[in-house]
Structure formats: C-alpha cells, structure tokens
Structure 1
C-alpha cells in the first residue's frame, strides 16, 4: 500500500502569523491533533495540539485568569510550531512511513507532491485505521 491510499486529504491549515486563538478554536471543534502551517502556500511547519497546550496559560478560562494568561492567545503560530518537519511522498510505501514514525518519534508526516505542495497528512491514526488492509497487502 502507498501513503496516498490512507492519508488524510481534507486538510485544515494555518499561516505563520495566525494567532494561537485561531489554533485553539480549530482544535476545540475538530477531532484531529495536527495543523500544517503554510507560508505562501508552502509547508513551513506543523503545530501539534500539545504545542498549543504548552504555549497557553493553564489559567485560561478559570477564575484566576489574568490579562497575562489571556495574552498567551495572542502569540503567533510561528512561535510554537515545529519547523522543517519530516515529510513523505504520496507514492511512498506505508512501510517507509512506519519506519519514519518509529525512528524519529513523530506522530504525523505531511505528504508533499513533487512540486513541494501539500497534498495531505499521514498520522498514526490513519495507519491504524487501515492496518488490516496493510497486513493483507504485505502477505501477498
């Protein structure tokens, strides 16, 4: 099986200068945990939900929230994103993706076309959803 067969194609992306309030809004309303970050249409990085949680004050939305806590929502994506993420091609084998995940302790791989345009994203969750098919294809 190839990456293109199991990757997520419906992407939500953010830009380098978007505020963390936007990222929080997205993560609060969707069931995924990674956001590709684009700069003029090209992949610049990835924001993981854990990156956001580390950047925001734990006092947000509590009775002890201060102006400094609320100000953490005004930070910009480029301040917390992972830069130069490992990527994979859509025609790569899923076994190559698994190897990248394991060797680099990562949880997502942006999928780039030959022209470096973002085509999708592959996560461990995508692999696990298709595991029976991967196992059957490997046996052939």
Structure 2
C-alpha cells in the first residue's frame, strides 16, 4: 500500500442509492433498511447537494427508529422534508484522493461517509468507513 498509488477510486462504492430533496423521509428509511446502508446522498441534476444518515432519521423521530411499527415511524418521518433533515455542509472528495488522505478524514472523527464527485461536482461514488476497512483488511496477515 503506497500513499501515492492507492486512490479511493479503487475502493469507493459506485452502485449508489440516492434520493432527491422532494422525496419522503420514509422512503429514505425504507432504502436504508432494504440496502443495509446508513447514508444516502441527496442529488439534484446529478450533483450531491446533501446527505441523509440514519442518525438524521433518529433526530427527526426523537426515539428508537426501529422499535415502532413501520407505519408509525414513516408517518413521523414524513412530517419533515428531506431538505430540512439533510446535512448540507458536505465534505466531498475526488476519485484521485489518496486512501491515506481519506483515512485521515475518517480518523478525525467528523465523517463516516464521504461523497465522491468528479470535476463537474457530479456524484460518482461514496466512500464509507466500511469501504476503507475492507480495503485495509486486504493487507492484514491471515486475511
């Protein structure tokens, strides 16, 4: 593993599940449950304008999101728009960002996922702490 040759393009997720700001938070919850993910990019015309995390859904719900019936949870979630719940102050990275640089961003503790954009700021992937751990495990003895 070398800082100069390994980029996040090699390890990022590219089969993305995204939403638009017009969709309902209940749809986001359903996508997270169905795809077993914790972060969903919010896109407009291909550009990432926000991010919804499972933590954001819990903030809206004021409780344990998964202990209620889905109908009750969805009704509560749909009282708030994606636009109001999403994180808009995003830290994005590019495909050529080094794995080491991305790891430093995660190690700082502020991020658990980073949208990956191209030179036109279009969303092309997501890098999560899980992606990074899977990559690092390739170098672990006995892995």
Please report the TM-score for the alignment, with normalisation by the length of structure 2. 0.81
* Distance (whole Å) between structure 2 residues aligned to residue 114 and residue 30 of structure 1: 28
* Distance (whole Å) between structure 2 residues aligned to residue 34 and residue 22 of structure 1: 13
Structure 2, unmatched stretches of 5+, are: 1-5
Within the candidate set 87, 91, 109, 1:82 is matched to 87
* Distance (whole Å) between structure 2 residues aligned to residue 93 and residue 29 of structure 1: 31
Asked whether the equivalents of residues 19 and 42 of structure 2 are also in contact (C-alpha less than 8 Å), the reply is yes
Residue of structure 1 in register with 2:3 after alignment: none
Residue of structure 2 in register with 1:16 after alignment: 21
* Distance (whole Å) between structure 2 residues aligned to residue 99 and residue 135 of structure 1: 19
Measure how far apart 1:40 and its partner are. 2.6
Measure how far apart 1:74 and its partner are. 3.8
Q: 1:134 to 1:94 in 2, by over 3 A?
A: farther
Which structure: greater helix fraction? 1
Within the candidate set 1, 9, 12, 1:4 is matched to 9
Residue of structure 1 in register with 2:41 after alignment: 36
Give runs of ≥4 in structure 1 deviating > 6 Å.
none
Measure how far apart 1:90 and its partner are. 0.3
* Distance (whole Å) between structure 1 residues aligned to residue 124 and residue 39 of structure 2: 15
Structure 1, unmatched stretches of 5+, are: none
> Is residue 66 of structure 2 the alignment partner of residue 61 of structure 1?
no
* Distance (whole Å) between structure 2 residues aligned to residue 135 and residue 111 of structure 1: 26
Asked whether the equivalents of residues 16 and 38 of structure 1 are also in contact (C-alpha less than 8 Å), the reply is yes
Q: How many residues align?
A: 132
RMSD: 2.4
